Structure 1
Amino acid sequence: MKSTASLFRALLAVSMLAGCSSYRPTPAAFHEVLDQPYRLGAGDRVRVTVFEQDGLTNTYSVDQSGYLSFPLVGSVPARGHTAQQLEKEIADKLRQGYLRDPDVSVEIDRYRPIFVMGEVGAAGQYSYVPGLTVEKAIAIAGGFSPRANQES
């Protein structure tokens, strides 16, 4: 009887101490939205409008090498560029013997997918949306699994 009471007290003390563990907030990067322009990469699809040039206005995909195949000028580097940088790049190439003063507009038609892996409810490929944070991506993937180590 005495050993049962001692065992009970020991278990009670351990459970009380476990409840005293300190709270560790998630790192800022976990839920922080980066205030930076989106950079293009393989798999993105952009809508390029060349005003008064209907034959050049179309949607184009960034290939696996990071280039956009554009009529008249060929391959245009897109990986790592913003939409505004790509506008300038296309306009500069069109100025080289094709159009006098091209007015080019680039907007993102479809973002490349993101991949959420690890101890989440449903790891896999998901659509990117502007403003997506790590926290939101994990929520979209079904949240952390019970085995997930959320401290590191």
Structure 2
Amino acid sequence: MKGKLLPIVCVLTLLGACSVPKDVAYFQGIDRLTTADLERMNQTYATTIAADDLLTINVTAWNTTVVAPFNPPPFAYIPQGETSVAADSKLTTYLVDKEGYINFPVLGKVHAAGLTKAELIDALQTRIREYVDGAMVHVQIVNFKITILGEVSRPGSVNIRNDRVSILDALGMVGDLTINANRKNILIVRDNNGHKEYGRLDVTNPEIFASPYFYLKQNDVVYVEPNNAKKRNANYSSAQQYTLTIISTILTAASVITTVVVALRRK
């Protein structure tokens, strides 16, 4: 009977091994995409400024003295719970308040939330040029970070310096997925104006490029869950440990009972 079962077990093992690449390889079928598919997947994305963002803003002109009122001495704003913020840029930082405004020198309150960096730059340049001809403005978000948890090589928070970051960029920053990662069900948790929303990504499918979650936003949380193989191993290990604990308890109890019985008989 055992001899008959052995070939079946071997075949099933081989089939399981052959299925592994299907769960590991990224962008499967990308070579079969048509030009129309690629056009559909193209998307433009620009980071928008949100409440609680921290901005550095620098105003320049040919004569730096005339824009000095718009560039006060630098200071660092560190939100509660944070150990550091990029203040090494030697520029004043501006916190976007809950109503979406920053308090800017000379101009007073300027609305920033909901605007892209380019839109805020245009708005500031338009107003500052009423005072200084040809003034130029540079804006940078300095507290743009994402958190990546689960089956990645180096889980944790990552500070982003670029204007935009994709899920692929983010995974590259933490050393890629582990072999035990479920590549078909990556969870993105996002805060959208105080409301939590989430989406799922499958990096084995090239359709990921068309997902609204392909590009990440400030404070997104990425969670990569373990694949079924690791879940089974974890369950087996837990069950095995539980069984060993039970057996150890029974043996200890039996030893105690035996010791008591022997002691009673000697009396």
TM over 0.5: yes
1:60·1:69 contact (CA, 8 Å) conserved in 2? no
Counterpart-to-counterpart distance in 1, 2:127 and 2:166: 35
Deviates further, 37-46 or 80-89: 37-46
Quick one: percent identity of the two aligned structures?
A: 18
The match for 2:70 is 56
- Ranges in structure 2 where 5+ consecutive residues have no aligned partner: 31-40, 72-90, 186-267
Deviates further, 56-65 or 80-89: 56-65
Counterpart-to-counterpart distance in 2, 1:44 and 1:34: 26
Question: Does the alignment pair 1:83 with 2:117?
Answer: yes
When the two structures are superposed, what TM-score results if normalisation uses the length of structure 1?
A: 0.70
- Ranges in structure 1 where 5+ consecutive residues have no aligned partner: none
When the two structures are superposed, what TM-score results if normalisation uses the length of structure 2?
A: 0.44
Q: Give the structure with the larger helix fraction.
A: 2
What is the CA RMSD across the aligned residues, in angstroms? 3.3
Larger Rg: 2
Higher RCO structure (Cα 8 Å, ≥6 apart): 1
Counterpart-to-counterpart distance in 2, 1:113 and 1:137: 10
2:46 partner letter? P
Counterpart-to-counterpart distance in 1, 2:145 and 2:93: 16
Counterpart-to-counterpart distance in 1, 2:9 and 2:167: 38
2:16 partner letter? A
Q: Pick one of 13, 16, 19 that aligns with 1:15.
A: 13
1:119·1:147 contact (CA, 8 Å) conserved in 2? yes
The SS at the match of 1:76 is: strand
In structure 2, do the counterparts of structure 1 residues 146 and 64 end up closer, same or farther at CA, with 3 Å as the change threshold?
farther
1:146 to partner: Cα distance: 5.0
Q: Pick one of 150, 167, 171 that aligns with 1:118.
A: 150
Aligned length in residues: 145
1:86 to partner: Cα distance: 1.0
1:4 to partner: Cα distance: 2.3
